Amino acid sequence: MNLFRNILRILTTIAAFIYTLIFIDEAFPPYNPDFRESNFGIFMVFLLYAWFLIGYYYLWNNEKKAGIFLTTWWILLFLTAWLIWSYGNVTVILGFPIFILGILLLIYSYNEVI
């Protein structure tokens, strides 16, 4: 099971690196003038990134909490894209692998208890 945990950590680290690059590109000016974003939408970008970082922090300490944070991160991302962002469909698709990693972390933590 240690190999599985290490693979999950490596994959999540790669996802965190890519997400950080996308976050830097999306969150900071200059914004694309074609996409008018509300202040709440910009706030959600930062909130979702902070939520992801909390999940990434727990990846190294508590896989169950990390799985919960990463899974709820994607659910919040989905709801934000559906309700607020008019162009967020690609974001949901790109975030789906992190959702899968969160589920795998929950499965790992469940199997570790048994």
Span 7-38, pLDDT tens digits: 999 999 999 999 999 888 877 766 555 555 66
- Residue 55: both structure tokens together: 């999940």
By residue range, what is the domain housing residue 54? 2-28+39-113
Residue 33 lies in a domain: no
pTM confidence score: 0.87
On the question of a cis peptide bond just before residue 33, with omega within 30 degrees of 0, the verdict is no
Please tell me the total count of domains within the chain.
1
Mean pLDDT along residues 61-75: 95
Residue 105 lies in a domain: yes
Residue 34 lies in a domain: no
Q: How much is the pLDDT for 71?
A: 97
Q: Are 52 and 76 in contact (CB under 8 A)?
A: no
Q: How much is the pLDDT for 82?
A: 86
